[in-house]
Homo-oligomer: A and B are copies of this chain.
Amino acid sequence: MTAPRVAGVGLTRFGKFPERTGRDLFAEAGLAALDDAGVPPDDIEALFYGNFMGELAEHQGHQAPLMAEAIGLDVPATRYEAACASSGAAVREAVVRLRSGEADAILVGGSERMTNIGTAGATDALSIAADDLYEIRAGMTFPGAYALMARSYFREYGGSRADLAHVAVKNHEHALPNETAQIRTEITVDDALESPMVADPLGLYDACPITDGASAVVLVSEEYAEREGLDAPVAISGTGQGGDRMALHDREYYARTPAADDAAAEAYEDAGVGPADVDVAEVHDCFTIAEVLALESLGLYEPGEAVTAARDGETHATGEMPTNLSGGLKAKGHPVGATGVAQVISIAKLLCGRSAWSDDLDDPQVGVAHNAGGTVASATVHVLEVTE
């Protein structure tokens, strides 16, 4: 099996830009990725685009051709939607297409416009990633759902609000040198513990912010990269996807995320690597507890053991299992449809020495990106490796 290459990457600043349209955001990221790749726009054969809430935030569906047009590409364009894993799903299918030999160069990206509809509007729009009939109408919110997952985890394995606070502190620190991150403010464990309670045990600093932003990568086939002599040392060597029941109440327990277990197992097998080979990870920390669950689904920690990883410094840039060096969703920000590709970008930059944290790492060779939708009813995992 050949392994598609990451030829170029592009990101907007993540943050609060209510005046910027989705197409404005995506054009910036897409053009930056094309420029970074040095791939002629005419070689791009398709746009695989992730977006989650455009219907509600911008009264705009059918965004993929609009986004292709915004960057001057005359190509077929399809939107992928799997809630917060939308652009992870787009990456997955682009990898399949590229290694099938049916395409040589695909622009994959995503964008989300969220702050223009305010916090209440965004909270409502985010809620449609859960089961509207049986969860949302019963009063469920995402902070509430993840609070249930945290409570369940604590009961099953132990752990505390302070453990989770360390996740927040770490990811805020990681975001400090990230020029595109939304929140670049150091916080302390006390800051996190004293922040307003949102849904017990999760406080304000356990949650990622609401974010506008876009991301894009140019993915090319291995053959194309070689033929064109591209400087594209990072390959996507494994892809996996998992699904679960949509509503929490239809699952057996909340202290594990089986969809991500499945996605990780598939991606590792696909790449021919295992958790022990992973040098660096970007995981879907929409809430601090979600980082813990992700690390365990990825097999980087045994069940019940990831909750202390941040407190023990293991997931810090200088630790054994550096995680979310971009700042994660928590501090980098979470423009929903852009997140999956932004994670791939973070790993790709770490693997080729282009990250602000590169000097702190010891020649990383393998990274994983874990993207989740809803309460992990959808999950994608990608393994990235240095090929040279």
Could you tell me if A129 and B96 are in contact, using CB atoms closer than 8 angstroms? no
- Supposing A60-B128, A81-B81 touch, asked if A65 and B244 sit within 8 A by C-beta, the answer is yes
What separation, in Å, do the CA atoms of A125 and B59 have in the docked complex? 8
Whether A93 sits at the interface, judged by CB under 8 Å, is: yes
What separation, in Å, do the CA atoms of A97 and B103 have in the docked complex? 12
Whether A69 sits at the interface, judged by CB under 8 Å, is: yes
What separation, in Å, do the CA atoms of A56 and B56 have in the docked complex? 7
Could you tell me if B78 and A79 are in contact, using CB atoms closer than 8 angstroms? no
Chain B residues contacting A250 (CB-CB under 8 Å) are 69
Chain B residues contacting A246 (CB-CB under 8 Å) are 62, 65-66, 69
Could you tell me if A62 and B243 are in contact, using CB atoms closer than 8 angstroms? no
Chain B residues contacting A62 (CB-CB under 8 Å) are 52, 81-83, 128-130, 246, 373-374, 377-378
Shortest CB–CB separation between residue A83 and chain B, in angstroms?
4
Please state the number of chain copies in the assembly: 2
Could you tell me if B82 and A80 are in contact, using CB atoms closer than 8 angstroms? no
Within A341-380, which residues are at the interface with B (CB < 8 Å)? 373-374, 377-378
- Supposing A78-B241, A243-B76, A378-B64 touch, asked if A132 and B373 sit within 8 A by C-beta, the answer is no
What separation, in Å, do the CA atoms of A59 and B374 have in the docked complex? 14
Whether A242 sits at the interface, judged by CB under 8 Å, is: yes
What separation, in Å, do the CA atoms of A310 and B368 have in the docked complex? 56
Chain B residues contacting A52 (CB-CB under 8 Å) are 61-62
Interface membership of chain A positions 73-116, coded 1 if the CB is closer than 8 angstroms to chain B and 0 otherwise: 01111111111000001000100110111100000000000000
Could you tell me if A80 and B77 are in contact, using CB atoms closer than 8 angstroms? no
Chain B residues contacting A131 (CB-CB under 8 Å) are 60, 66
Within A232-267, which residues are at the interface with B (CB < 8 Å)? 241-246, 250, 259, 262-263
What separation, in Å, do the CA atoms of A47 and B246 have in the docked complex? 14
Whether A33 sits at the interface, judged by CB under 8 Å, is: no
Chain B residues contacting A64 (CB-CB under 8 Å) are 81-82, 243, 378
Whether A120 sits at the interface, judged by CB under 8 Å, is: no
Whether A136 sits at the interface, judged by CB under 8 Å, is: yes
Within A309-343, which residues are at the interface with B (CB < 8 Å)? none
Whether A191 sits at the interface, judged by CB under 8 Å, is: no
Number of A residues, CB within 8 Å of B: 57
Shortest CB–CB separation between residue A18 and chain B, in angstroms?
15
Chain B residues contacting A136 (CB-CB under 8 Å) are 59
Could you tell me if A80 and B83 are in contact, using CB atoms closer than 8 angstroms? no
Whether A149 sits at the interface, judged by CB under 8 Å, is: no
Whether A68 sits at the interface, judged by CB under 8 Å, is: yes
Closest to A128 in B: B61
- Would you mind naming 28 contact pairs between A and B with Cβ atoms under 8 Å apart? A52-B61, A55-B61, A55-B128, A56-B56, A59-B132, A59-B136, A60-B128, A60-B133, A61-B83, A62-B82, A62-B130, A62-B377, A64-B82, A64-B243, A65-B374, A66-B377, A68-B243, A69-B246, A76-B241, A76-B242, A76-B262, A77-B82, A78-B80, A78-B93, A78-B378, A93-B97, A96-B100, A100-B102
Q: A59-B136, A65-B243 are in contact. List 12 more A-B contacts (CB 8 A).
A: A47-B243, A55-B56, A56-B56, A61-B128, A62-B377, A64-B81, A64-B82, A65-B246, A76-B242, A76-B259, A76-B262, A77-B82
